[in-house]
């Protein structure tokens, strides 16, 4: 049970493992947009989000009262992190790792992937780590699918855009246009 900052690190490891075992870690981290719910009550259509309940069951009554306004598992986990973790080096590394290992499969809209990159950038900024717009542009380009079409697109960007013009916004605009060109059904 999470009680105070003194047991936060061990609780964080425990809750991460528990959420992973229950196959709801992505929901709690906000990386899985599909809500995974517990078994519904027979005769009703109401389901209770499992990740949120697991987190609530693992914190003290005092923390439960302090975080009762957080209705999603991601909000609750983020609130607990902000209460107990002031710019932890390990947490910062984890977010950097998520950012640099991000990949867009091409199966969903590129806008969803771009939002997730911007969210990670904002989380790092909240911990006083600023990401340069050019670095984020490179991360975005690197996260594109490794297909001939996207490889050619990436090559054209890095070989034609002037160094001073390479920004996240410029790359985002070009990628969005390219996605419309390659997948007209998504526009």
- For residue 4, what are the domain limits? 1-86
Same domain membership, residue 113 and residue 69: no
Residue 6: per-residue pLDDT: 64
Q: Is the pLDDT of residue 5 over 70?
A: no
Same domain membership, residue 70 and residue 118: no
Name the residue among 103, 144, 145 with its Cα closest to residue 120: 103
* Residue tagged 């107990």 (tokens): 84
Query: pTM of the prediction?
Result: 0.56
Same domain membership, residue 57 and residue 5: yes
The token pair at 61 is 């009554």
Residue 35: per-residue pLDDT: 47
Residue 144: per-residue pLDDT: 97
**What gap in Å lies between CA 95 and CA 182, rounded to an integer?**
31
Same domain membership, residue 71 and residue 45: yes
Same domain membership, residue 185 and residue 94: yes
Same domain membership, residue 114 and residue 66: no
Residues 6+ apart with CB under 8 A from 17: none
Same domain membership, residue 176 and residue 106: yes
Domain final residue pick, 66, 86, 106? 86
**What gap in Å lies between CA 24 and CA 7, rounded to an integer?**
23
Residue 76 Cα to chain centre, angstroms: 15
Same domain membership, residue 107 and residue 173: yes
Q: How confident is the model over 33-83, as pLDDT tens digits?
A: 554 444 443 433 333 478 888 999 999 888 889 888 988 888 898 888 888
Same domain membership, residue 50 and residue 26: yes
Same domain membership, residue 100 and residue 161: yes
* Residue tagged 């259509």 (tokens): 45
Domain final residue pick, 50, 68, 86? 86
Residues 6+ apart with CB under 8 A from 141: 154, 157, 158, 171
The tally of domains found in the chain comes to 2
Same domain membership, residue 131 and residue 78: no
Q: pLDDT above 90 covers what percent of the chain? A: 34
Same domain membership, residue 71 and residue 52: yes
Domain final residue pick, 86, 101, 116? 86
């Amino acid at each position: 049970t999470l009680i105070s900052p003194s047991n936060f690190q061990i609780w964080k490891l425990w809750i991460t493992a528990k959420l992973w075992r229950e196959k709801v870690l992505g929901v709690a981290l906000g990386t899985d947009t599909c809500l995974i719910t517990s078994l519904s009550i027979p005769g009703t259509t109401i389901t209770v989000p499992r990740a949120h309940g697991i987190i609530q069951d693992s914190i003290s009554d005092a923390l439960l009262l302090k975080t009762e306004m957080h209705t999603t598992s991601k909000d609750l986990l983020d609130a607990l992190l902000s209460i107990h973790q002031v710019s932890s080096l390990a947490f910062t590394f984890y977010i950097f790792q998520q950012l640099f290992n991000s990949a867009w499969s091409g199966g969903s809209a590129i806008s969803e992937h771009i939002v997730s990159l911007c969210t990670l950038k904002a989380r790092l900024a909240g911990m006083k780590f600023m990401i340069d717009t050019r670095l984020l542009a490179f991360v975005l380009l690197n996260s594109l699918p490794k297909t001939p079409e996207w490889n050619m697109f990436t090559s054209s960007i890095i070989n034609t855009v002037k160094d001073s013009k390479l920004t996240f916004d410029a790359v985002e605009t070009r990628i969005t246009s390219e996605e419309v060109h390659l997948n007209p059904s998504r526009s």
